[in-house]
């Protein structure tokens, strides 16, 4: 096969380059995946490189899968030896082989976001931190950022000296890592951090992988963070055959830790770098590209390039300046309907892109009224649903008994009469002897005061042991089926008999399908690998092709996608760019990030780009009069074919009787309650005071810390024994004084 015939001149240069560092600046829609694929093929076919010596790293499972398919198709025999995977998957494979050198068991667990939250709650409780001052989510974000920058707990603690708040966070970071280690678990950030630690502390392992991966290719390099940069730099240090592909103009993930300097300063780190620019676009019309070039050209922190195409000039950019969000949504709805009803397009051809998720509401309402099918990209992840997490917790417990979180989750699911008191005694026993929670359960008979609770614990332990023994003989489908049957999990949902319960059963059915597909696609399937694969699946990977629905999504979610018709909505200063970026300490840097995001949005469009803004937008119940976005003003005026006045008031249209909106409207016609029923009547006095013990129907017992008399009611502050500090109105709380004995 002659690869060069299918490539333009600059693409050919990138494919033909062999030795030394290579930076490919690939503009949006410039065919970078094809270049990467053909480059791998040429290294093998014409340069005699062993496929075993090639590593290709992508950011998403979807991108890795697409590259794998292309490479397999072109290279044929031997392509299976090439490592094509995400950063995290690459690290998982390395760690499973060598993590014992860092003091971990090789069968470690990967904690997802919910698992991390559970650990953090426990850490905060143990350190007696005020979670109103130190929010758990905030603490996890700070720790994640530290790991992105490859800052250890010890380094963080040293940097925090003299700052009380930072010192507290450093203490949390240290304790959080201790807890993960105790559970033989890693979070997502740890996968990268521990691999770099492994390479830095074990030169023999680093040397092995440097010899193994003599040719390294990294896609979407503009999205790498510091620890990813360190990982790649270490691997490429020996042979310097590092090819990175990226576009600094599409660096939009600073909030996730991405460091644009990695691509901007690549030539400084690797002085002998060859730079090749891919500027020919195969996706969009020239007018769309000229609009994108006009906007991004206002950024200072970028490498000079300009997109061009051999495609037609295309339609002018459509611009509508409307009165409010209602009219904005009405306009977009009307334009979609026009094209679909005229058979010029299908619903799947349209994407509505906005800066924040909150902007979707008006479009959802209008689409429901118009019977337009739609999908919001970025909803609840399949693997975050309760029933899925429950089943996976059983599988994790069978696979890795040291995972305390998994065992805690399912010890009483479905209910088997093991209460909080019993669990507390088991945990105390585990803590005292340095055991995992499951090991303590195995040792439950010896726990002081456990009593008859042992008889409820024992069957659970035996059940887990039985599955472990049968693991080699059962398929994953059979194992999950056995778990559902023997625990009574499926039966309890069936007996519930509700639509919600049926939906949960359907979700579990989908998990079983996933397990079957995994087994069919792997020569040597096993439970550990399946759990890793599940843990590494990204939200964006769930977007189904062939789904005939208009897509609603944030600009960040749109990265890497393309659509014939794109609407950029909410183009006002304060919305896009956001107030936060405009009012930031370093507004230029923040607005440049926002401008790159706008560039990404514009370049998603293939045929037609519509831009809308409103004069008055309601935010948190207040009308805001925002200026037109500076990004719209940066588009050359000659490219915009329609600058509208406010359109006439939309006519009241008959809503289709079978539409979801009509049905919902009908359901809410009946008056269900009288607001007068809920009027608060302030008591003349309270029968308890500061320092008294009180009880609450939900939160249990606690001590009154403060009482503030307001015009309508008393505000009471209570520190509950189990639920912590709560503020509530006396009339609603209905607190009862607990008489001391």
Q: Just list the catalytic residues.
A: 32-33, 219-220, 250, 604
User: In 404-435, which positions are buried (b, 16+ CB within 10 angstroms) versus exposed (e)?
Assistant: bbbbbbbbbbeeeebeeebbebbbebbeeeeb
DSSP letter assigned to residue 484 = H
State how far the Cα of 112 lies from the Cα of 110, in Å rounded to an integer. 7
Q: What long-range pairs does 60-68 form, CB within 8 A, spacing at least 24?
A: 60/86, 60/538, 60/540, 60/541, 60/560, 61/86, 61/89, 61/536, 61/537, 61/538, 61/541, 62/538, 62/540, 62/541, 63/33, 63/219, 63/220, 63/560, 64/89, 66/33, 67/33, 67/36, 67/37, 67/219
State how far the Cα of 672 lies from the Cα of 674, in Å rounded to an integer. 7
State how far the Cα of 451 lies from the Cα of 458, in Å rounded to an integer. 12
Token pair, residue 293, equals 């070039």
Instruction: Let me know: does 200 contact 234? Beta carbons within 8 Å.
Output: yes
Coil, strand or helix at 641: strand
- Ramachandran sector of residue 255 (left: φ over 0; alpha: ψ -120 to 50; beta: rest): alpha
Beta bridge partners of 551: 351, 375
Beta bridge partners of 26: 278
Taking the alpha carbons of 370, 372, 376, 381 in that order, is the dihedral positive or negative?
A: positive
DSSP letter assigned to residue 578 = B
Q: What are phi and psi of 9, to 5 degrees?
A: -60, -45
Name, in order, each residue with C-beta under 8 angstroms of 600's C-beta and a sequence gap of 6 or more: 28, 250, 252, 555, 558, 559
Strands 714-720 and 700-709: antiparallel
Instruction: Let me know: does 363 contact 573? Beta carbons within 8 Å.
Output: no
How many CB atoms are located within 10 Å of the residue 350 CB?
Answer: 25
Token pair, residue 433, equals 């002897």
Residue where the block lists tokens 């509208």 = 644
Give the distance from CA 93 to its chain's centroid. Answer: 22
State how far the Cα of 542 lies from the Cα of 576, in Å rounded to an integer. 27
Cα–Cα nearest to 484, from 517, 500, 507, 461:
507
How many CB atoms are located within 10 Å of the residue 188 CB?
Answer: 19
Instruction: Let me know: does 27 contact 279? Beta carbons within 8 Å.
Output: yes
State how far the Cα of 636 lies from the Cα of 644, in Å rounded to an integer. 16
Strands 622-625 and 616-619: antiparallel
Coil, strand or helix at 199: helix
């Amino acid at each position: 096969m002659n690869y060069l015939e299918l490539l333009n001149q600059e693409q050919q240069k990138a494919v033909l380059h062999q030795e030394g560092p290579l930076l490919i600046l690939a503009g949006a829609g410039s065919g970078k995946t094809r270049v990467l694929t053909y480059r791998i093929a040429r290294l093998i076919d014409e340069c005699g490189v062993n496929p075993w010596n090639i590593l290709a790293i992508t950011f998403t499972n979807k991108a890795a899968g697409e590259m794998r398919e292309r490479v397999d198709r072109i290279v044929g025999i031997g392509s299976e030896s090439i490592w094509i995977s995400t950063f995290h998957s690459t690290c998982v494979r390395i760690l499973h082989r060598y993590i014992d050198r860092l003091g971990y068991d090789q069968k470690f667990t990967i904690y997802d976001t919910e698992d991390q939250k559970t650990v953090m709650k426990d850490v905060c409780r143990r350190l007696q931190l005020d979670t109103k001052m130190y929010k758990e989510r905030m603490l996890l974000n700070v720790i994640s950022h530290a790991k992105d920058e490859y800052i250890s707990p010890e380094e963080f603690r040293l940097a925090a000296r003299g700052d009380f708040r930072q010192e507290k966070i450093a203490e949390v970071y240290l304790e959080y890592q201790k807890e993960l280690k105790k559970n033989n678990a890693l979070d997502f950030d740890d996968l990268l951090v521990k691999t770099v630690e492994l390479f830095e502390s074990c030169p023999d392992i680093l040397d092995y992988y440097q010899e193994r991966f003599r040719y390294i290719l990294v896609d979407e390099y503009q999205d790498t963070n510091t620890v990813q940069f360190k990982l790649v730099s270490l691997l490429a240090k020996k042979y310097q055959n590092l090819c990175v592909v990226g576009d600094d103009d599409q660096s939009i993930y600073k909030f996730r830790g991405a460091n644009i300097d990695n691509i901007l300063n690549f030539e400084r780190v690797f002085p002998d770098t060859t730079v090749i620019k891919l500027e020919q676009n195969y996706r969009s019309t020239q007018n769309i590209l000229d609009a994108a070039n006009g906007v991004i050209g206002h950024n200072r922190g970028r490498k000079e390039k300009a997109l061009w195409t051999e495609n037609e000039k295309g339609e002018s950019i459509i611009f509508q300046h409307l009165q409010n969000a209602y009219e904005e949504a009405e306009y977009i709805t009307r334009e979609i309907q026009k094209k679909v009803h005229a058979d010029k397009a299908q619903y799947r051809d349209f994407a509505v892109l906005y800066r924040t998720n909150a902007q979707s509401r008006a479009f959802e309402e209008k689409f429901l009224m118009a019977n337009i099918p739609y999908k919001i990209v970025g909803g609840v992840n399949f693997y975050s649903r309760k029933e899925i997490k429950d089943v996976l917790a059983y599988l994790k417990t069978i696979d890795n008994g040291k995972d305390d979180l998994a065992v805690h989750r399912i010890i009483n699911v479905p209910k088997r009469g093991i209460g909080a008191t019993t669990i507390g005694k088991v945990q105390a026993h585990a803590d005292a002897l340095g055991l995992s929670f499951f090991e303590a359960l195995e040792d439950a008979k010896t726990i002081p005061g456990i009593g008859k609770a042992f008889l409820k614990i024992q069957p659970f332990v035996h059940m887990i042991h039985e599955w472990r023994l049968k693991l080699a003989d059962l398929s994953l489908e059979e194992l999950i089926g056995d778990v559902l049957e023997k625990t009574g999990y499926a039966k309890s949902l069936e007996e519930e008999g509700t639509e919600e319960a049926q939906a949960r059963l359907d979700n579990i059915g989908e998990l079983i399908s996933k397990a079957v597909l995994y087994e069919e696609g792997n020569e040597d399937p096993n439970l550990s690998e399946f759990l890793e694969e599940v843990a590494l699946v990204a939200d964006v990977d769930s977007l189904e092709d062939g789904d005939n629905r208009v897509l609603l999504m944030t600009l960040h979610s749109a990265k890497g996608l393309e659509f014939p018709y794109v609407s950029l909505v909410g183009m006002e200063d304060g919305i896009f760019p956001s107030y936060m970026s405009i009012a930031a300490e370093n507004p230029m840097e923040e607005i440049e990030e926002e401008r790159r995001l706008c560039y990404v949005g514009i370049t998603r469009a293939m045929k037609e780009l519509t831009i809308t803004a409103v004069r008055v937008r309601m935010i948190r119940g207040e009308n805001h009069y925002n200026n037109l976005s500076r990004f719209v003003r940066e588009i050359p005026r000659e490219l915009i074919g329609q600058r509208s006045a406010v359109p006439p008031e939309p006519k009241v249209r008959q809503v289709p009787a079978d539409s979801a909106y009509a049905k919902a409207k009908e359901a809410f016609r009946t008056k269900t309650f009288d607001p007068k029923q809920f009027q608060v009547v302030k008591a003349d006095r309270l029968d308890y005071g500061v320092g008294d013990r009180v009880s609450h129907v939900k939160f249990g017992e606690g001590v009154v810390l403060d009482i503030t008399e307001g015009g309508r009611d008393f505000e009471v502050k209570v520190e509950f024994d189990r639920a912590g500090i709560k503020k509530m109105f006396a009339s609603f709380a209905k607190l009862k004084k607990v008489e001391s004995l």
